[in-house]
Structure 1
């Protein structure tokens, strides 16, 4: 039986964490062009070439929120990150598309 090892995070909780200066690592796994056109402030773009740096540098006990387009691919990435030793990993439900629709003022370009 498979067990989920990451948690889902809704946009309202992420907004509260950002407003409360919650220390966290925001990881955006969308393609570089999409990231450059808009992303959640404070997020870092990660792809296959840079994921090793993320694993080496990010605090393993700090919340890590993975963002993709719609909240599907981020679940697989979050699962993988848990396997790398990160203990508090979240997949943003609805992804960046939902975040941008709900919080257009909180998109950095």
Structure 2
């Protein structure tokens, strides 16, 4: 079992077309609250158990980190848990934020950067 790489344009197309997918963000909680891809959920050691319980293994999962490096390890781990359509977002959130600033949300109470 392994994962695939996903470029930003493809993720953007999936979002626009309504393709069913789950975006999980593995950055630290503070970074996530300061900005993340709309609809994504924060995933860490505390929340991964409930994610696995709640998310069907046939669901497409896109893993996001800062620059697209750590997400590869997390994507490989999820693939090892039985998810057969797992992607690591190339360039990570940093690239997404730079190219899609209108598609970044912040948690309530967080001041814009």
Report what 2:80 is aligned to: 83
Deviation at 1:88, TM superposition (A): 0.1
Say what the alpha-carbon RMSD is for the aligned residues: 0.8
Q: Which runs of 5+ in 1 are unaligned?
A: none
1:52 equivalent in alignment to 2:44: no
> Runs in 1 of length 4+ with deviation above 2 angstroms?
none
Report what 1:38 is aligned to: 35
Report what 1:6 is aligned to: 3
- Find the partner of 2:94 among 94, 97, 101: 97
Using the size of structure 2 for normalisation, the TM-score is 0.92
Report what 1:65 is aligned to: 62
Equivalent residue pairs, number: 106
Q: Structure 1, residues 48-105: CA drift from partner, whole Å, max 9, x if none?
A: 0110111111121111000000000000000000010101000000000000000000
Separation of aligned partners in 1, 2:2 and 2:47: 23
Q: Structure 1, residues 1-38: CA drift from partner, whole Å, max 9, x if none?
A: xxx71000000000000001111110000000000000
